[in-house]
A and B are shown apart, each in its own frame.
Chain A
Amino acid sequence: MNDQLKTDPSKPAQRMRAGSMTLTLGPWIVAAIALLVMPYIFTSNSALTIMNQMWITVVFALAYNMLLGQGGMLSFGHAVYMGLGGFFCMHLMNYIEDFGLAFPLPLLPLFGGLFGMGFAMIIGSFSTSGAGTRFAMISLGVGELIAACSVIIVAFFGGEEGISGDRTYGLPFFGVEFLKQIEVYYLISFWLMLSAVLMYLFSRTPVGRMANAVRDNPERAQFLGYSARWVRFYSFCASGFFCGIAGGLFAISYEILTEENLNATSSGVILLVTFLGGVGFFFGPIIGAIAFTLLQTVLSLQTELWAIYVGGLFLATVMFFPGGLAGLMMMHVPALRLGKAGGLVMPYIKTLIPGAIGVLGVCALIEMTFHFRHAAKGDHEMTLFWTTFDSHTVMPWLIAGIVAAVGLGVARATAPAMKEAWDEANTAGGAS
């Protein structure tokens, strides 16, 4: 019975690229500049809130991927470490307020991180002795335990309503009191850059490389003289540290923490985010967090059914692109190297655009069914794709059905051509 959770090293999408301890500066500088410039492009307050949420999720997802992607450990209760770090920061914030402590707010996430790491050390001391189902089940059990404790231990978790604080009582940091959203944004961006760089460097340290080795073949790693358990333990603690930082950032940004930050749903969401982005590459979770937050905020404004679409997208990702979005992007690197990526553009347009239109048609059918079944009596009007129509007549159903059928049909018909083009683009030599 082989229940080790590991990725297959023979598949490029699942393999970490080998490298040294050096940092390729290019992408990092671009990322830093993007972080600095973003608030000037999206100036509205709601955009700032979304970006704050996005960057916090990025930190959390990167920390989660230290386990899932780099260590091969599947955790079902990882929201606990972020939540506990956040709760600790919130108490610290209230403590500062009550006793008038001279403590600069930007340092707060560090303490959240230390608390998260401390808790990870306790749990990790017994959970990391195995990687597979055992680790997953302990993480699930601990997650449920802590989530249940949050209702029982009112002194620390504040019961049902959680605990809240005020970030502005700390020592002004070079005159900044964090009253404005934009100041919080730059605080979060700073911590995002710092933790992302540190996490990247961690994956390049000997411990980080050994985590990959233990993920792929724990037995061999042990024959080389490394203790698989200790390697997992170090990864686990480091991950707990960065989760705690994410929790601290959450506390600063939202000024309230509740049981929701600890429960199984949050743990599930972060798994979804990380896998959607792709666990095989360092930047995968970043893409996943950005895509998921956008989907969540934009789609939930448009439709009540957003969770169905996200769930469907998630299942499709697992079934067809186990490398996630990052894996999908990196699949094209060989074609680009061969200089044949241009040949892929036309087949892609021919297949993917009808496919997308077909999917939209299916979505329209789903929305109409939902409206038909659940709307208030007598409310026959619905608005979809900027057109208002009566959902109880045949015409819109016919149109949506035809669009879906034709779109998916065309995509299906042109799929073999796309596959051919793909094979051709990935073959060295030949024509062109």
Chain B
Amino acid sequence: MELILVNVIDGLVTGLLLFMLSAGLTLIFSMMGVLNFAHASFYMLGAYFAYQISLALGFWVGLLIAPLIVGVMGAGVERYGLRRVHQYGHVPELIFTFGLALLIEELVQFVWGKNQMAYDIPDILNFTAFSIAGNSIPAYKIFMIFISVGIFMGLLYVLTKTRVGMIIQAALSYPRTVEALGHNVPLIFMGVFGVGTALAGVAGVIAGPVLGTFPGMAFVLGSIVFVTIVIGGLGSLWGALVASLLIGWITTFAKSYNIAMSDILNGIGIATPENLSDNMFRDLWTVTSPQIADILPYILMVLILIFRPAGLFGKRES
């Protein structure tokens, strides 16, 4: 029972981290209709910038400034890159962000090298917050939860309660009309792109010390983020939240409970073959849940796409 609680907290941390990335991505998608493959690269840039700043000015300054820099870079990419490619259609746009992801990874390796950076949890948060039946919960995880929930609240408030949020929502659905009303829609798009990438930057700043700051970090998380927003339904903020938490919990639980495939198969009445080492399906019999934990989200996504193509919360395609 205690272990379940620990896993719930761990899954929550993973899920909320995913949500910070997928929230920005899903906003950008509903705006431009294009998946931004470089989104996780901005997350990586956030971690690296924060590391560099923390060397000189400490962790907290990094937490403030790094996302700003990332956001400005994101806005620049939209303004000078994507807007240009937009005229050629959707495939070139997708391919552009894909190429950008490759280039950012190479540039990061160029500047910082291939090794993991010594970007650590600040001393002030490096203690055990509380422990559940001998399992200690570090304070940094609680800090991560608070930051992500705070950002989600802020985002929800801005999008639904303020004038700016209303204009953004209107511009997402009816850009022409909003433009006719005298708002600068390209500027709004650029702003949304910047804020989305800045969110990814925040995620990078707070995840860097826990998950490691290395050139492959974008690649590790990148495709999972797409999976998240596809499962949640493209363009849906609530869907992104639910799917992020779902994936966080599924992978955490699959990793901590060692469920073997042979037990399941025996349980439904299929006996283990006599000479397992010669059997064609020997690998199927020896599969355990921690082994497949990382591919469970992909299986979930393919299933969702087959049976409910619009995702959990997505609108049906017209």
Contacts and interface: CB of A to CB of B under 8 A. Distances in A.
Given A1-B318, A154-B283, A138 B298 contact: no
Interface stretch (A27-35, A128-136, A227-235): A128-136
B92 interface: yes
A314 B318 contact: no
A374 interface: yes
Contacts of B95: 74, 271, 275, 318
Contact of B88 (A8, A154, A156): A8
A68 to B, nearest CB: 7
A5 B302 contact: no
Contacts of B89: 5-8
A138 B100 contact: no
B73 interface: no
A265 to B, nearest CB: 9
Contacts of B102: 268, 272, 307, 311, 314
A149 to B, nearest CB: 8
B223 A144 contact: yes
Contacts of A307: 102, 106
A152 B90 contact: no
B283 A137 contact: no
A170 to B, nearest CB: 24
Interface residues of chain A: helix, strand, loop or mixed (majority): helix
Nearest to A132: B90
Interface in B44-61: none
Interface of A: 1-8, 68, 72, 74, 126, 129-130, 132-134, 136-138, 140-142, 144-145, 148-149, 152-156, 264, 268, 271-272, 275, 305, 307-308, 311-312, 314-315, 318-319, 322, 366, 370, 373-374
Which residue, of A6, A141, A145, A271, has the highest number of chain B Cβ atoms within 10 A?
A141
Given A138-B305, A145-B299, A264-B223, A271 B91 contact: no
B295 A144 contact: yes
Interface stretch (B153-161, B244-252, B286-294): B286-294
16 contacts: A1-B235, A74-B91, A130-B317, A137-B230, A141-B227, A144-B298, A145-B299, A152-B283, A152-B291, A155-B282, A155-B283, A307-B106, A308-B103, A308-B106, A311-B103, A322-B92
Interface residues of B, number: 51
B96 A130 contact: no
A5 B283 contact: no
A132 B302 CA distance: 15
Contact of B110 (A72, A322, A370): A370
Interface residues of chain B: helix, strand, loop or mixed (majority): helix
Given A311-B102, A315-B99, A142 B302 contact: yes
B96 A152 contact: no
Contacts of B199: none
A140 B95 CA distance: 14
B221 to A, nearest CB: 13
B226 interface: yes
Contact of B94 (A5, A141, A145, A155): A5
